[in-house]
Amino acid sequence: MTKLFKSLMALATLFLAINILHAQPVRQVVNIVVSPDHADWHYKTGEPVEFKVTVLQNDFPLDNITLNYEVGPEKMEALKKGEVTLKNGTATIKAGTLNKPGFLRCFARVTVDGKEYERYATAGFDVDKIQPTTTLPSDFTEFWENWKKELAKIPVKPILTLMPERCTDVVDVYHVSMQNIDGKMYGILCKPKKEGKYPAILHVPGAGVRPYFGDVSNAAAGIITLQIGIHGIPVNMPQGVYDDLAAGALKNYNRVMMDDKNNYYYKRVYLGCVRAVDFIYSLPEFDGENVAVTGGSQGGALSIITAGLDSRIKWLAALYPALSDLTGYLEGRAGGWPHMFMSNEAKLASRIETSKYYDVVNFARFVKVEGWYSWGYNDNVCPPTSIFAAYNVIPGKKESHLFLDTQHWTYPEQRDMLTKWLQKRLLK
């Protein structure tokens, strides 16, 4: 391999990790550890929870430091506030309980040398009993079947442009475009050079506006991979172009036309995921049967949505799915990203009605294929209450892998588990 190629692959790997799966936070000088008194972080409703807080500097306990704490459900107002003095670096906070299924989060804050440090942990109460607040419209299936029929009238018309600078000795990499409803979809296709028939993975993206680099690693293992963007713009432009779009035309894209369910921004996105599957099926190298979908955050949502919309998907692997149980805030509990109903001005009847046709929960009800799901109780972007609301209604075979202390990021071991799970099913 050339030095340039190695640099490009390293950059591609970095972007894939950051943009899809999110990076771990950097460790700070002062380390706060917040631990519920149950090792599995699980409680029965009505059962009290205590949080032990340990504060370390240079891995040594701090003494006689004031610790401020707040306790309450995720994304909601605190139910309890107070302060305690650390003794030998530790303090115990009696947090109370919840009388219905949900989560209780304890924030701990200290100030050392003029800088504030914060950490939190989240206890779950009868989480397998959490039910959605959103409801399924009577015409939900009809609505999406009609739009899929409209999409089917539009030819795929794929255009593949080889990207020689990204190809390897075993993988060809292409920038691709295809016709979608109301415009085009773009992505990065990676496929093995060796002749044969291969399974495929569709990578659906997390939130934001950015370029993409493709999944060369799985392609080298013998899997066709397609990584798509959702905004109807090429995905191989300079970063500055996407920065400008994110600050301008595509700012708050997740709220565009939310008053109209037939023209909401995500209609074209969801149908675009179906179109991406159409494209995969058009590839002569595809084995015609085995295709999985995967992503994190918005991509976790799109993974469930695609599997619920398209029966051609055989497996899905989703990390901390967004867009789940959006109406939670209307019932006094956390809703899913992008939290559009957290503010009063967004609580319009038309937007609430539109949300029901786009909420992950209502697609999850129709997911019958085998799925691998993973998230953490400390997620502050996609609250665990919203994720369980979707996960608990999935009728298909499913397995959850809880990395309890994670926020909106993943451990390397978590990512490795996801990859091995997919490869075990696709590379039979």
- Structure tokens of 317? 């692997």
Strand partners, 102: 125
Report pLDDT for 26: 81
Per the residue annotation, which of 177, 297, 324, 386 is the catalytic one?
Answer: 297
- CA distances (Å), origin 100, targets 104, 125, 165, 256: 11, 7, 56, 35
Report pLDDT for 95: 97
CATH class given for the domain over 30-127: mainly beta
Runs of H (alpha helix) within 48-187: 140-152
CATH code of the domain made up of 140-426:
3.40.50.1820
Of 324, 325, 328, 306, the C-alpha closest to 316 is 306
The alpha-carbon radius of gyration of the chain (Å, integer) is: 23
Rounded CA separation 377/48 (Å): 18
Per the residue annotation, which of 22, 42, 339, 408 is the catalytic one?
Answer: 408
Of 323, 269, 268, 321, the C-alpha closest to 295 is 321
What would the pLDDT profile of 296-350 be if each residue is shown by its tens digit? 999 999 999 999 999 999 999 999 999 999 999 999 999 999 999 998 766 789 9
User: ω into residue 412 within 30 of 0, thus cis?
Assistant: no
b/e code 294-306 from CB counts within 10 Å (16+ = b): bbbbbbbbbbbbb
pTM given for the model: 0.94
Around Cβ 327, how many Cβ atoms within 10 Å? 23
Report pLDDT for 10: 39
Report pLDDT for 22: 56
- DSSP letter for 134, please: S
Report pLDDT for 345: 60
Query: Does the annotation count 379 as an active-site position?
Result: yes
* Average pLDDT, consecutive stretches of 10 residues, N- to C-terminus, the chain (428 residues): 41 43 77 97 98 96 96 96 96 97 98 96 98 98 98 98 98 98 97 98 98 98 98 98 97 95 98 98 98 98 98 98 97 96 80 97 98 98 98 98 97 97 96
Report pLDDT for 357: 98
Rounded CA separation 273/289 (Å): 17
Strand partners, 370: 315
Of 355, 193, 197, the C-alpha closest to 291 is 197
Query: Does the annotation count 408 as an active-site position?
Result: yes
Around Cβ 116, how many Cβ atoms within 10 Å? 10
What would the pLDDT profile of 37-48 be if each residue is shown by its tens digit? 999 999 999 999
- CA distances (Å), origin 301, targets 237, 322, 326, 375: 25, 5, 12, 12
Per the residue annotation, which of 215, 325, 359, 379 is the catalytic one?
Answer: 379
The DSSP code sequence of 266-319 is: HHHHHHHHHHHHHHHHH-TTEEEEEEEEEEETHHHHHHHHHHHH-TT--EEEEE
Report pLDDT for 428: 82
SS3 180: strand
Domain ranges (residues) in the chain: 30-127, 140-426
Q: E strands, 343-393, where?
A: 370-375
The backbone torsions φ and ψ at residue 115, rounded to the nearest 5 degrees and listed phi first, read: -110, 135
Contact by Cβ (8 Å): 155, 148 = no
What would the pLDDT profile of 174-198 be if each residue is shown by its tens digit? 999 999 999 999 999 999 999 999 9
